[in-house]
Structure 1
């Protein structure tokens, strides 16, 4: 009870509550604006959070992260344009329901499934993170290196059809983090005697360039769309809960997929919602209606993708290993304030951890209540011209970059990464492997350096149970990927010979 009261006291402050409201409602707004998304918003807000207390900064980021997909379902259902990429599957059945005049029910299904998925994953976070943290002391340098390597590998493998590109970009991220003065022997690496490179490449500069500036450039290039929104009545709470109860099995299974995929580095929302959608279609009594306005499809998609954010916090809080680019950005906030995720966080600052849990619960309640009254207002916000939106993103991004170290060199570096990110997005290549390569690459280098000082052979490196299990998973993942490549290659040869 004392721990709970201490946690409540930690968040029962005007600045924490303000951060929670601004982050939650702002996350819904940026999710509802096609072309923005949580990654861009978090990248812009991130420099501001460094000057705030950890609980305040993380609450704001959690609000954006946890609420953006709620907002992303609105344009996906009403105008067949997903607000965030992970709401793409919602368009399959949401927009056909809107065309049938069932926009209100489609939104009700999306809101209720998202709310259920979020609460389900928060419960999983509260149950599983302490368990993983209790096992974490068994993780030495070699285990953490192997876990981080497995995370990089999963990030690469899950980009099906773009494995080579994702691998190159991940290793580019690993290379970028090596630039600067090396911390052990204090030698310069890849600085080319340039003073601006001696301190390395700042993660936040890269994040703002790859996500925010590149997206601003894309919005400058895109034409404004004249969109007609259907009339939607206010969606009631009890109507949402009634629809959720009808499809409770789909919501529960979809949320379970989201939790599992959220815990695995590099997997995330896309894999979870495709697995959930496929399960719903296979077990449905009317599978032929999927893609034509089946309510089960909306529930499966939204429950799965909204259960990922809290689940992705499990390896972050317990091991300090981010699963995707958004949790990697949050990890930067932890480190800036000298709050180190892992077992020591649970043993020494459990009130802080419990406060984060409470904030996650509150933000979902805030979002659902807000959506009861604000759906029509959000529809008006979706009509903001692309170029105006792009100019706002670019302005805030450049201000945030310069405020980090009052450095024009950082602005130039971020601009270069912005152009690079723009090219990648135009070519439909992923940018997240670069960020995870930078974050996990630094972790891998430090732990490998420590581990190799104590072992003298490869077998000694994996002779402990957890190390051997992680190594086995790496071998299995590589084997599955090799088999997939071979299968695709033989199928291609057969088609050519046919």
Structure 2
């Protein structure tokens, strides 16, 4: 209770409240513009947040992170164009409802389900906070190293169909983290005699290049798109009443969001898939899914909005980001010398509770804003994409140059931007690079620290938590190999069945020949 009251006291600062308001409303606006997304906005704002107090900068970024998916549902439902990649599943049932003249109903359901998922996740976190405070101190260097290793394995395996590419990108990120001065003996690594590489590859330069500049270049080379949608008319509060009849679907979806959010590298897409599949299998009208099912819309939106709050668990408790956005937030901690991990839960529990309460407040702010501004946001979606690209490019270079007033940083960011554009064109994953840089740095530091107290590899599993983590790593790898073998057998069986079929009408002339 003392931590909760301390967290409320921290949030009563006007700077924190203004930052939360700007982040929440700004995140909705950014999410409503197709082709931008929270990653681009957070990347651009990162350099500015370094001059704020940690709680001020983090609440602003949290506001963008947690609210962008609210805004992303608007073009997904009205235009069949997801505002953020996470809202892709929303188009399955949201847009068919719009075509039937039920746009206000679809938006109302999306808003109410998103609000439920976000609040549900925050309440779960507040309840779990004392448990995390007890468990976190038991994580030493070995455990955090193994947790980071598990995280990077899960990030790679989460890219089904692109595992080899994701692995290469993750290891590229780990390599980029090694460039510069080695942290223990300050020897030069991979600098090749170039002084400008001595400082290494700055995470913010990399993030702005791969996410913001690459997206700006992508938008600038594409054709201008100005989608149009009809004004939405109707009661936006009706979705809350309808949600009462779908509370089982919403609760299960929120639970999936919380569970998947706590696992590094899994995130919104897996939570959505599991909740959508569950809702369809347990529905009385499964045939309606994909054709305007309210259950499908609720399961998708409740799950994806529960993930941001849950994703803060590994970040705050262990200092391990689960995806790119929390990896960016980690840099704000480091700049202000606030190290997330077991010590944060032990000595700054009121700070943790302040972040949780901020996430609760952002859901309320966003909901109130959306109930009165949906039609206004429709005008924002009509901004030509090339203007957006030019604006993002200018803001990105301002952000990069403001870090150290260095033209070299601008050149490096441009190079990473072009590289990111190539990856987008080839449909290759970018997120593993960022997580490789962040998790690779954590793994190196913690492994060095652990090796001072390790005499043999057995010492890595001689404690309960480390043994559990090693077991999880082995289980994940074995299950993945089994899944690959099963898919290989299925493909071989399918080919055999196709090979056994006799050719159709072989040697018979068609009628009328």
TM-score by length of 2: 0.95
Counterpart check, 1:490 vs 2:493: no
- Cα drift, residue 8 of structure 1: 2.9
Deviation, 1:480, is 1.2
Kindly indicate whether residue 32 of structure 2 is the aligned counterpart of residue 68 of structure 1.
no
The 2-side partners of 1:63 and 1:178 are apart by 32
Measured in 2, the distance between the counterparts of 1:315 and 1:235 equals 39
Aligned partner of 1:31 in structure 2 is 31
Contact 1:424–1:431 (CA under 8 A) maintained in structure 2: yes
- Superposition deviation, residue 244 in structure 1: 1.3
Paired with 2:336 and 2:9, the residues of 1 have a C-alpha distance of 20
Matched, 1:200 2:200: yes
Q: After the TM superposition, which of the residue ranges 94-103 and 352-361 deviates more from structure 2? A: 352-361
Question: Which residue does 1:293 correspond to in 2?
Answer: 292
- Residue 354 of structure 1 aligns with which residue? 353
Moved more, 341-350 or 278-287: 341-350
The 3-state SS of whatever aligns with 2:230 is coil
* 2:341 aligned with 1:345: no
Mind listing any 5+ residue stretches in structure 1 that lack a counterpart? none
Counterpart mapping for 1:164-183 below 5 A: 164-183=164-183
Q: Are the equivalent residues in 2 in contact too, given 1:235–1:372 (CA < 8 A)?
A: no
Rounded Cα–Cα distance in structure 2 between residues aligned with 1:471 and 1:22? 42
Aligned residues: 497
What is aligned with 1:449? 448
Quick check: 1:28–1:70 contact (8 Å CA) kept in 2? yes
Match of 2:424 in 1: 425
**Alpha-carbon contact 2:228-2:382 (below 8 Å) kept:** no
Deviation at 1:3, TM superposition (A): 4.5
Is the 8 Å Cα contact of residues 129 and 317 (structure 1) preserved in structure 2?
A: no
**2-structure distance, mates of 1:316, 1:133:** 13
Give yes or no for contact 2:345–2:352 (8 Å, CA) kept in 1.
yes
Contact 1:251 1:299 in 2 (8 A): yes
Asked if structure 2 preserves the Cα contact closer than 8 Å seen for 1:119 and 1:361, the reply is: yes
In structure 2, the residue matched to 1:375 is 374
Alignment correspondent of 1:325: 324
Contact (CA 8 Å) 2:136, 2:345: kept in 1 or not?
no
Report deviation, 1:150. 0.2
Counterparts of 2:407 and 2:219 in 1: how far apart (Å)?
24
Aligned to 1:46: 46
5+ residue gaps, structure 2, are 500-513
Q: Secondary structure at the match of 2:73?
A: helix
Task: Indicate yes or no: 2:49 matched with 1:86.
Answer: no
Larger mean CA deviation between 370-379 and 133-142 belongs to 133-142
Q: How does 1:296-315 map to 2 (within 5 A)?
A: 296-315=295-314
Identify the range of structure 1 (351-360 vs 42-51) with the bigger mean alpha-carbon deviation. Answer: 351-360
Deviations 1:280-334 (A, max 9, x none): 0000000011111111110000000000000000111111111111111111101
Q: Could you tell me whether the CA contact under 8 Å between 2:139 and 2:342 is conserved in 1? A: no
Q: How far is 1:254 from its partner?
A: 0.3
- Of 242-251 and 131-140, deviating more is 131-140
**Whose Rg is larger?**
2
Q: Pairwise CA RMSD of aligned residues?
A: 1.3
Shift of 1:252: 0.3
Is 2:193 aligned against 1:220?
no
Decide whether the 8 Å contact of 2:107 with 2:236 is kept in 1. no
